[in-house]
Structure formats: C-alpha cells, structure tokens
Amino acid sequence: MDDILERFLRGERRALARVISRVENQTPEGREYVRALFPRSGRAHTIGVTGGAGSGKSTLTGALAAEYRRRGRTVGIVAVDPSSPFTQGAILGDRIRMQDLALDEGVYVRSMASRGALGGLAPTIDDVVAVMDAFGFDYVLIETVGAGQDEVEIAGTALTTILVNNPGTGDDIQAMKAGIIEIADILVVNKADHPGADVLVSQLQALLALAPAGSRRPPILKTTAIRGEGFGALADAVAEHRAYLESSGGLAEQRAQDARHQVLSIARAILLEQIRAATPAEELEALVLRVASRELDPHSAAELLAAAVRR
Ligand SMILES: Nc1nc2c(ncn2[C@@H]2O[C@H](COP(=O)(O)OP(=O)(O)OP(=O)(O)O)[C@@H](O)[C@H]2O)c(=O)[nH]1
Ligand SMILES: [Mg+2]
C-alpha cells in the first residue's frame, strides 16, 4: 500500500484529491486505488440531482449539503458538468454561506467533465463516487445536467434520484415525454419563489396519478434553493426514500442493478477500446464511409470490426 492510500485512509483531504485525479485520468494507479477502496464503499447514501440546464441543480445541491451539515453529517459532491458553477466557486446564491461550505472540512466538492474519452458518461464517475464513499462521507451528491442519456445513467449511480423542475418553463412536460420522470425518486419544484410553482405541483401530481397502481409515487416538494428554503423537508424525503428502499427489499435490488450496469458499461468500454486498437483509424473511417454510401450495411461493418478483434 502506498503513501497516498495510507493518508487517504487516515482521512487526509489532499490524499483524497490525489486519488480522485488518478482515478479520473484512468491511470493504472487509479485503477489500483479503486480496487483497494471499493470494498470500503457502499456505506454513503448517494443522491443524484438532475434536471434541465439552469434549473438550479448546483444551488440546490449546495443547499442540501448545507442542510446535512446542520444535521452534523458529512458530504461529498461530484458535479458532472464542465460548465458547473462549482468550478467557478459559486455554489450558493448566498455568498457567505458558499464560503462556509468551501472552508468546511465536512464538505468536499469535485467537478468533472461529463464525457469519457470513449464517449458516454465516463465509467469513472462511478469510481469517483465509490472513492468519496470509501473516504467516509455520509452523503455523496452527484449533479448532472439532464440533457439526454445522462440522467438515466445517473439513476444507475445514485440510490436516490432528485429531479429538479422549474415553474413556467414547460420543461416538465418535455421531461414526461422523455420518460425522465420514471427515474425520479423525488420531484422538486425549485425556484418556488417564481409564479406558477403551485400550478406545476398540480400538473406533476396529475401526471403521477397516471402511474400504475401499487407503484411508489415520488413525493413532490417545493424549494427555493437561493434562499435555502424547503431543505429540511427535502432531506426528510431523501431519508424516507432510503427507508422505503430498505423495507421493500429495493435496496438490494438496486445495488444489484447498479453493479450490473457498472460492470457492463466498463466491459463495453474495454471492448470498444479493443476494437479501436485492432482497426486503424483510417480503416475505421473507410468502413464508416462505405456504410454512409449504402455500399455496406451497419451490421456487416460492425461484424468486420469484431472479427478484427478476434484475429
Ligand atoms: N429565483 C430563483 N433563482 C434560483 C433558484 N435556484 C437557483 N436559482 C438561480 O438559477 C440560476 C441557475 O442556477 P444553478 O444552480 O447554476 O443551476 P444549474 O441547474 O446547476 O445550472 P447548470 O449546471 O448550468 O445546468 C442561478 O442564477 C441561480 O441563482 C431559486 O430557488 N429561485
Ligand atoms: Mg450546475
């Protein structure tokens, strides 16, 4: 065991930062760290915060973290978004409290790019979350912008997924159409200081009423993240969701599902890497152009790539 890992296990934040960097860069060392630390993970309550761009995810994440600190709990935050204000140091609407959070030993914030080298949500996000979990944070909050597949993937990473909506944007209706609501364990109407919050709550209630009988109805909560309003209730709803998972047997099921998802996505990345290694870029490009010109069908082209790996 090297020095960094030892210091990590003693709870040194600088060692945590080093470990995360190596994990994020997918170095062989990073992989060893994940291997060593993974057995220590699984204790934190992981919470995904997703929703439309600008819906207040970062502000809400900061305010929820502040609520947990008030309750004496520690929090790791992973912001999966290069444009996240976390990087610019503006977590909360209230500057003073933001500073408190930044200086607080019980909170650790890490921003990372949303895309891996091979495209798609980087498998390293799961690894970074596991590392923070192993470090001993009670909660690990994961912010990701809801722009396509990411929110579905994040639901695989987090035990509890919070979907952030805003009044008066019409985004919520879009979200329903995309089926995003199905991944939400808790629905939040943020910017409740804006008009139309209650209307949106009613609309969401009406939509949830269409869910199959017997399925769990996610609670709908109003927050005003810039003022830190509604976070006692939100933290309670998160705890209730965890209790529900534990009592319904859903926790074990979800952990198995997460593990399946992670293993398969890493295996997919490994295979894709092997395909790239077995076929030079210009050959791959030529093959792709043959498909584009309808000379070759995509299945046959993919078979050729797979055959190159087998050789
Ligand atoms: N009025 C009001 N504004 C809010 C509230 N929460 C966040 N905002 C503002 O909304 C804007 C976006 O907030 P962010 O927290 O950066 O939103 P985000 O969803 O993280 O944004 P991206 O990560 O860029 O997608 C900021 O100007 C916030 O101050 C709220 O409850 N009420
Ligand atoms: Mg953000």
List of domains in the chain? 41-250 (3.40.50.300), 265-310 (no CATH)
Q: Who has greater pLDDT, 232 or 94?
A: 232
Determine the residue type at 273.
E
pLDDT of 220 reads 95
92: pLDDT strictly greater than 50: no
Question: Ligand 1 atom closest to Cα of 194?
Answer: 1
Rg (C-alpha) for the chain, rounded Å, is 21
Q: 142: which residues sit within 8 A by CB, 6+ positions away?
A: 46, 47, 48, 49, 77, 78, 80, 125, 129, 154, 157, 158
Q: Who has greater pLDDT, 214 or 16?
A: 16
Lowest mean pLDDT among 57-71, 89-103, 187-201: 89-103
Q: Which residue is closest in CA terms to ligand 1's atom 2?
A: 191
170: pLDDT strictly greater than 80: no
Q: What share of the chain is helix, strand, coil (3-state, %, to 5)?
A: 55, 15, 30
Pocket test for ligand 1, best of 58, 84, 194 (most atoms within 8 A of CB): 58
Calculate mean pLDDT across residues 193-205: 91
What band does 121 get if pLDDT is binned at 50, 70 and 90?
very low
- Ligand 1: residues within 6 Å at CB? 53-59, 81, 83-85, 93, 145, 190-191, 193-194, 224-226
pLDDT tens for residues 258-275?
A: 899 889 888 988 898 899
Q: Which residue is closest in CA terms to ligand 1's atom 30?
A: 191
What band does 182 get if pLDDT is binned at 50, 70 and 90?
confident
Please work out, in degrees rounded to the nearest 5, the angle formed at the alpha carbon of residue 133 by the alpha carbons of 8 and 12. 20
pLDDT of 155 reads 55
Question: Ligand 1 atom closest to Cα of 93?
Answer: 29
Q: How far is CA 29 from the centre of its chain?
A: 24
Query: Are 45 and 34 within 8 A, CB to CB?
Result: no
pLDDT tens for residues 40-80?
A: 999 999 999 988 888 898 899 999 999 999 999 999 998 87
Determine the distance separating the centroid of ligand 2 and the alpha carbon of 231, expressed in angstroms: 18
pLDDT of 89 reads 43
Determine the distance separating the centroid of ligand 1 and the alpha carbon of 126, expressed in angstroms: 25
- The structure tokens 């030079």 sit at 280
pLDDT of 87 reads 45
Determine the distance separating the centroid of ligand 2 and the alpha carbon of 220, expressed in angstroms: 21
Judged by its nearest atom, the ligand closest to the C-alpha of residue 62 is: 1
Determine the distance separating the centroid of ligand 1 and the alpha carbon of 202, expressed in angstroms: 22
Tell me which range, 49-63, 91-105, 149-163, is most confidently predicted by mean pLDDT: 49-63
Pocket test for ligand 1, best of 57, 58, 59, 141 (most atoms within 8 A of CB): 59
Determine the distance separating the centroid of ligand 2 and the alpha carbon of 211, expressed in angstroms: 30
Average pLDDT, the chain: 84
Please work out, in degrees rounded to the nearest 5, the angle formed at the alpha carbon of residue 17 by the alpha carbons of 13 and 18. 115
Determine the residue type at 223.
T
Phi then psi for residue 183, to 5 deg, are -90, -10
The CA distance from 33 to 29, in Å, is 6
Q: Who has greater pLDDT, 53 or 143?
A: 143
- In 3D space, the residue among 157, 160, 187, 168 whose CA is nearest the CA of residue 51 turns out to be 187
Determine the distance separating the centroid of ligand 1 and the alpha carbon of 226, expressed in angstroms: 8
